[in-house]
Amino acid sequence: MLEARDIHKYYSNGKEKLSVLKGVTLKISEGEIAAIVGPSGAGKSTLLHILGGLDKPTTGEVFFEGKSLRHVSESWLCGIRNSSIGFVFQFYHLLPEFSALENVMLPAIISRRPSLERHALEQAARILLAEVGLRHRVTHLPAQLSGGEQQRVALARALINGPKLLLCDEPTGNLDSENGKQICQLLKNLNSEKKATIVIVTHNTEVASLASKIYKIKDGKLE
């Protein structure tokens, strides 16, 4: 489902060249949960962003469902990111002026799914919020929600378009252990019930233990 071949990524700050990824190759199969672990600054987020087409490698190639992301147009990539890939970040990134329900609906509104009328979309968003245990928080604004609740809204938002692939960047990094456990359970259910393929960047050993495959990254390389 997802393959990275010999990924290198350099950043240059003026004269200095910072080499972050130094030849990363990996293959993630459909239905798998994979974790990418490693020390801070090792290149985990950079790799995840490249896998999800949010960033481009300097050299090397990423394939999503067999299609190379190298020479595709930005609009095609936006379409794929919106319809087939869900993202969950450490700091939730909810839009503060919108309710939980509206935040969950946004990716579907952006993708203008013609088959889904506003009413049906709202229903779908309510169902997802109920599934993450937030049936009674739909009209709340992000500022009125706890960190754990905001992350569950972010998870529901990532799922509204029924992605095949879910990419999570430190999804429990800002949560206490109880809320972290809830997120773990939701990811586990998502994988077993909806067969979603999940890639998780994490420091947390409990989160990593969800994975059937753990990639250790150090100094820009997989160990």
* Residue ranges in contact with ligand ADP by CB under 6 A: 11, 18, 20, 38, 40-46
Q: Name which of 18 and 130 has its Cβ closer to ligand ADP.
A: 18
9 vs 171: CA distance, rounded Å: 24
Smallest gap from residue 58 Cβ to ligand ADP (A): 12
**Min. distance of Cβ 220 from ligand ADP in angstroms?**
8
- Select 149 or 170, whichever has its Cβ closest to ligand ADP: 170
Question: Can you tell me the distance from the alpha carbon of 44 to that of 87, in angstroms, rounded to the nearest whole number?
Answer: 15
Contact (Cβ atoms closer than 8 angstroms) between residue 34 and residue 214 = yes
Q: Which residue, 43 or 107, has its beta carbon nearer to ligand ADP? A: 43
CA distance 131 to 213: 26
- Name the β-bridge partners of 221: 218
- Cβ at position 41, least distance to ligand ADP in Å: 4
Strand 59-64, strand 33-37: pairing: unpaired
> Could you give the 3-state DSSP secondary structure of residue 16?
strand
Report the residue number, 2 or 20, with the smaller CB distance to ligand ADP.
20
Least distance (Å) from ligand ADP to the CB of residue 108?
29
